[in-house]
């Protein structure tokens, strides 16, 4: 099952056992026409892989299937992104003239890989030698790949994860993870969030309009067994609990790799 606020997709079928499967789309009424047009082939399904290219490239480097730019360019040719770039280049910022002079989009794929590699190198998740174009995994990249932590979160951790942090600082850091940025603040949730905030033992540093505020409040509410009444907040809390474990474990692994000292200066009753 893949869930979001606009659509839920349920896939029924057992890989390696069933020769076919069923897909069920559950969405709100205002999104119905869009998904009906997709089902009726009135609108082609475009790839969103380019938004997650950096994290997927890091995973391939960690696995050892990609060790240089040339191999990464070849790996990209096996993706749905490449198929859609060939069939509908304008959607991906490729002119038909560029498509004509570069029939296999080698230059475009190379540009995408190098940009992703430079960003990963800036996050210290890989080692990228621009002269030899070799790509090498780092301990930080392995941790990110193992715990499915996004490169944007790693960039935040690199900047703010320090030794001797207070518990409130750790909660603040975890709440800033990009894994939770889809949890938007809703106006109707504010009264209950304000109530839950009063029950939090650790101070919350985020602004009231930031998604990290919601994450921090719901995380502390879960740990202190506070009662959540709004159904939407219950759903968001379940999502946070599902994902916070791997993020926290990833931070622990990073602390071990960097030999950081994590000392508790204040211990709340639920820790």
Which pLDDT score is estimated for 267? 43
Judged on CB neighbours under 10 Å (0-12, 13-18, 19+), 44 is: exposed
pLDDT tens-digit map of 12-61: 677 777 777 777 778 888 888 877 777 776 667 789 999 999 999 999 99
Angle at 50 between CA 179 and CA 149, to 5 degrees: 25
114 pLDDT tier (thresholds 50, 70, 90): very high
Lowest mean pLDDT across 104-108, 255-259, 265-269 = 265-269
The CATH number of 49-146 is: 1.10.10.10
Phi, psi of 68 (to 5 degrees): -155, 175
| Residue range 168-227, pLDDT digits in tens | 899 999 999 999 998 888 888 889 998 999 988 888 876 666 889 999 999 999 999 999
Range 251-262 average pLDDT: 80
Cα–Cα distance measured from residue 40 to residue 22, given in angstroms and rounded to the nearest whole number: 16
Taking the whole predicted model, whether its pTM rises above 0.85 is answered as no
Per-residue pLDDT, averaged over 234-244, amounts to 92
Q: What is the pLDDT of residue 6?
A: 55
What residue spans define the domains of the chain? 2-39, 49-146, 152-258
> What 3-state DSSP class applies to 185?
coil
Rg (CA), the chain: 22
What pLDDT sits at residue 152?
A: 94
The CATH number corresponding to 152-258 among 3.40.50.1980, 1.20.58.220, 3.50.50.60, 1.10.3380.10 equals 1.10.3380.10
What does the pLDDT read at residue 41?
A: 67
For 58-104, how does the pLDDT look when each residue is reduced to its tens digit (9 = 90+)? 999 999 999 999 999 999 999 999 999 999 999 898 988 898 899 99
Residue 260 has pLDDT above 80, yes or no: no
Give dist(CA 106, CA 74) in Å, integer: 9
pLDDT of residue 271: 40
């Amino acid at each position: 099952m893949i869930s979001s606020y606009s659509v839920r997709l349920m896939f029924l079928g057992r890989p390696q056992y069933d020769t076919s499967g069923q897909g069920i789309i559950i969405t709100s009424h205002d999104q119905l026409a869009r998904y009906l047009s997709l089902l009726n082939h009135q609108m082609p399904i475009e790839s969103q892989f380019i938004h997650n290219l950096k994290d997927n490239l890091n995973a391939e480097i960690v696995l050892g299937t990609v060790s240089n730019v040339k191999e990464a360019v070849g790996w990209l040719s096996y993706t749905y992104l490449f198929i859609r770039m060939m069939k509908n280049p304008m959607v991906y910022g490729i002119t038909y003239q560029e498509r004509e002079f570069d029939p296999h989009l080698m230059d475009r794929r190379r540009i995408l890989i190098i940009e992703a590699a430079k960003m990963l190198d800036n996050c210290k998740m890989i080692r990228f030698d621009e002269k030899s174009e070799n790509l090498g995994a780092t301990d930080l990249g392995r941790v990110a790949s193992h715990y499915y932590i996004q490169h944007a979160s790693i960039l935040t951790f690199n900047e703010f994860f320090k030794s001797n942090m207070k518990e409130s600082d750790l909660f603040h850091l975890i709440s800033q993870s990009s894994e939770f940025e889809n949890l938007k603040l809703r106006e109707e949730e504010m009264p209950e969030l304000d109530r839950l905030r009063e029950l939090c033992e650790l101070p919350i540093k985020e602004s009231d309009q930031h998604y990290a505020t919601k994450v921090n409040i719901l995380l502390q509410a879960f740990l202190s067994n506070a009662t959540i009444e709004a159904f939407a907040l219950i759903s968001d809390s379940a999502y946070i609990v599902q994902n916070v474990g791997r993020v926290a474990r990833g931070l622990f692994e990073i602390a071990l790799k960097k030999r950081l000292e994590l000392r508790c200066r204040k211990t709340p009753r639920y820790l």
